[in-house]
């Protein structure tokens, strides 16, 4: 894990309320794995005080000395609103790569990726890495959002996945249901080797239930509220399945967990 200054190369709107920030970072960030995250200081002044956590969305090596990292973010509060105003050329303080990412096993052939809303952010880095490592793999993406504007990264997923299954809460695109409906149908019809998911907690709990019921391995990326990002404040606790462990911490035990280790 390193702390560095990174230069903003671009900070562009990709859908209403969503933006992509690209950063020129030191080469140490090139070791990041899918599912890991960074803590970004969105301003130099006292407000907001804390760094904000963001999943690594994309990573491109740029020669020997540096990498380009992209973060996909949703504007939800003060920090992300400040972030949206940062122009290209600004330098920001960045800490990372942090946490435990997805476990990519050689023998995984058919993989189902479930992404709800901004949960699409880490799934792009994940799918790009899977594609590089196992070109022959069969990847299905289950992409859900409240409306069609919340279905993010469609072109990227279409270009990399065998099939993308769209769902929206309001029916403005794809099936009008939660993404867990087609995920469950497909999992029953053609069981994958693993399900990997990122999204709201309710969605993750449902995905974990489907996987447990059908005895499919499942990894969940959790985006809890976080303060320090390094295991010091204990502010990101989630209940462990095992009573002896009590609580796990998203920033150091996760953010990606084996679904069986959590009580959701």
Question: Which stretches of the chain bind ligand FAD, using CB under 6 A?
Answer: 37, 48, 52-55, 71-74, 76-80, 118, 121, 223-226, 250, 255
CB–CB of 51/226 below 8 Å?
A: no
227 binding ligand FES? (CB under 6 A): yes
Q: Which helix (H) or strand (E) holds 122?
A: helix 120-133
Nearest residue (CB) to ligand FAD, 178 versus 184: 178
Among 141, 236, 256, 259, binds ligand FES (CB under 6 A): 236
Shortest CA distance to 130 belongs to which of 153, 99, 162, 98?
Answer: 162
**Distances, alpha carbon 149 to alpha carbons 48, 155, 162, in Å:** 28, 13, 22
249 binding ligand FES? (CB under 6 A): yes
Shortest CA distance to 6 belongs to which of 23, 18, 19?
Answer: 23
Please choose which of ligand FES, ligand FAD, none residue 232 contacts, taking the beta carbon within 5 to 8 angstroms, the exact cut-off set by kind: ligand FES
Nearest residue (CB) to ligand FES, 216 versus 228: 228
Among 14, 232, 242, 247, binds ligand FES (CB under 6 A): 232
CA separation for the pair 144, 132 (Å, rounded): 25
229 binding ligand FES? (CB under 6 A): yes
228 binding ligand FES? (CB under 6 A): yes
End-to-end alpha carbon distance in the chain: 29
Binding piece for ligand FES, criterion CB under 6 A, among 36-44, 61-69, 189-197, 226-234: 226-234
Please choose which of ligand FES, ligand FAD, none residue 1 contacts, taking the beta carbon within 5 to 8 angstroms, the exact cut-off set by kind: none
226 binding ligand FES? (CB under 6 A): yes
Among 234, 239, 245, 260, binds ligand FES (CB under 6 A): 234
Q: Max alpha carbon distance in the chain (Å)?
A: 54
Shortest CA distance to 173 belongs to which of 196, 198, 199, 144?
Answer: 144
User: Two tokens at 148?
Assistant: 């069609």
Return contacts of 161-164, CB within 8 angstroms, 24+ apart: 161/113, 161/127, 162/138, 164/140
Q: Which helix (H) or strand (E) holds 124?
A: helix 120-133
Please choose which of ligand FAD, ligand FES, none residue 74 contacts, taking the beta carbon within 5 to 8 angstroms, the exact cut-off set by kind: ligand FAD
Nearest residue (CB) to ligand FES, 144 versus 229: 229
In angstroms, what is the minimal distance from the CB of 45 to ligand FAD?
14
In angstroms, what is the minimal distance from the CB of 240 to ligand FES?
14
CB–CB of 47/78 below 8 Å?
A: yes
Q: How far is CA 161 from the centre of its chain?
A: 17
- Contacts with ligand FES, 143-182, as mask; x by CB under 6 A: ----------------------------------------
In angstroms, what is the minimal distance from the CB of 139 to ligand FAD?
20
């Amino acid at each position: 894990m390193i702390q560095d200054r990174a230069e903003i190369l671009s900070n562009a709107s990709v859908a209403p309320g969503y933006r992509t920030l690209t950063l020129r970072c030191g080469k140490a960030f090139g070791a990041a794995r899918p599912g890991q995250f960074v803590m970004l200081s969105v301003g130099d002044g006292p407000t907001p005080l804390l760094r904000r956590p963001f999943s690594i969305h994309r990573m491109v090596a740029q020669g020997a000395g540096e990498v380009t990292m992209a973060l996909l973010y949703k504007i939800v509060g003060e920090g992300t609103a400040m972030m949206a105003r940062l122009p290209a050329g600004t330098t920001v303080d960045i800490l990372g790569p942090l946490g435990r990412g997805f476990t990519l096993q050689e023998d995984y052939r058919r993989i189902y990726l479930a992404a709800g809303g901004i949960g699409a952010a880490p799934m792009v880095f994940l799918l790009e890495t899977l594609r590089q490592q196992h070109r022959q793999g069969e990847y299905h993406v289950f992409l859900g959002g409240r409306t069609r504007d919340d279905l993010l990264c469609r072109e990227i997923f279409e270009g990399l996945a065998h099939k993308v299954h769209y769902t929206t809460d309001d029916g403005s695109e794809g099936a009008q249901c939660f993404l867990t409906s087609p995920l469950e149908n497909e999992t029953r019809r053609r069981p994958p080797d693993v399900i990997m998911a990122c999204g709201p907690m309710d969605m993750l709990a449902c995905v974990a239930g489907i996987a447990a019921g059908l005895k499919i391995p499942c990894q969940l990326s959790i985006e809890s509220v976080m303060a320090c990002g390094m295991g010091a404040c204990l502010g990101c606790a989630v209940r462990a399945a095992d009573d002896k462990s009590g609580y796990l911490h998203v920033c150091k035990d996760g953010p990606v967990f084996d679904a069986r280790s959590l009580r959701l």
